Amino acid sequence: MTDQHVWLITGASSGFGRELAKAVIARGCRVVVTARNAADLDGIGGAPEQVFPLDLDVTNYEAITTVIAAATERFGRIDVLANVAGYGYMSSAEEGEEARIRAMFDTNVFGLFAITREILPIMRAQRSGHVISITSVAGIQGMPRSAYYSATKHAVEGFSKALAAEVEPLGIRVTCVEPGAFRTNFAGSSGQTTKTKIKDYAETVGASMDKAAQGSGNQPGDPARAALAMISLTEEDNPPHHLVLGAIGYEGVVNTIEKQLQEIRSRREVALSVDF
């Protein structure tokens, strides 16, 4: 990565987005940092000619168009899109609230789709670029309390797989970053919850919510180190499609995929028996 590259980071006011922005700035890169309220980006560092803070709610499609136009006018190109904006809404599947579910999908899924679509013509013209989307280990695994949050992350994972197949021949790279337990405000102020009131879910959803709340602030993952790992992706000639971060997340994902593969293979005869 050189100082000639330009990043656009959504959700840069806190958590992974803020740490990533600070690390990118420290590398000398130029960066467009966005948040719902640009005032929340104060103190992020960097000189005015290097850092361009802008208001952006990714659910406002007109605002996306405006921000990308302003970014390209300011810096002339966009080399890396970091889709970080998002949040978690936790509930049992049965007790999920429709309005909250849809609002989360609007941000985590449809907002991400929209800004990625808007960036692609720029990257196609450049014949280069990298789309990095922060998903989660929940985009690979399924855990009690996370049915709808996991659904948003699985959606981004599926989108990214198909996107990679379409744009990699054009020189555009696509990577999903799947963090595990990191010390951000994900389980605190940035998250939403509907507490389970159904006794049948006390030992699954309820216990999972309690464990997450008790562990908040003591997660083993360091967001600053995660930011450096994300930047390193852009320095590789052939970056991976997936980057799982954190020891807990890594072990959980590997275990999930191994079990899934074992289950699929156990039904090989059935799978092959249904063809003409």
Helical spans, DSSP H, in 45-111: 61-75, 98-105
C-beta atoms surrounding 234 within 10 Å: 21
Total H helices, total E strands in the chain: 9, 9
User: Torsion angle, CA of 12/54/113/98, rounded to 10 degrees?
Assistant: 70
Give the angle 233-183-190 at the CA atoms, nearest 5°. Answer: 100
Active-site residue identified among 87, 148, 149, 201: 149
pLDDT of 98-140, one tens digit each?
999 999 999 999 999 999 999 999 999 999 999 999 999 999 9
Pairing of β 80-83 and β 89-90: unpaired
Write down the residue that tokens 């000189």 correspond to. 47
Pairing of β 80-83 and β 6-9: parallel
Q: 219 pLDDT exceeds 60? A: yes
User: Among 90, 85, 121, which Cα is nearest to 106's?
Assistant: 85
Distance CA 150, CA 204 (A): 16
pLDDT of 152-202, one tens digit each?
999 999 999 999 999 999 999 999 999 987 777 665 556 798 988 999 999
Give the angle 118-123-125 at the CA atoms, nearest 5°. Answer: 110
Q: Which two tokens stand for residue 169?
A: 């021949």
Distance CA 29, CA 50 (A): 7
Grade residue 1 by pLDDT with cuts at 50, 70 and 90. Answer: very low
Distance CA 100, CA 105 (A): 9
Domain boundaries, the chain: 6-246
pLDDT of residue 190: 62
Phi-psi region of 140 (alpha: psi -120 to 50; beta: other; left: phi over 0): alpha
Q: What is the CA radius of gyration of the chain?
A: 19
Active site residue 61: no
Distance CA 76, CA 70 (A): 9
pLDDT of 59-92, one tens digit each?
999 999 999 999 999 999 999 999 999 999 999 9
pLDDT of residue 189: 57
Q: Which CATH superfamily is domain 6-246 in?
A: NAD(P)-binding Rossmann-like Domain (3.40.50.720)
Q: Percent of the chain having pLDDT more than 90? A: 84
pLDDT of residue 4: 75
Write down the residue that tokens 């992706």 correspond to. 233
C-beta separation of 80 from 73 below 8 A: no
User: Among 239, 228, 113, 230, which Cα is nearest to 171's?
Assistant: 239
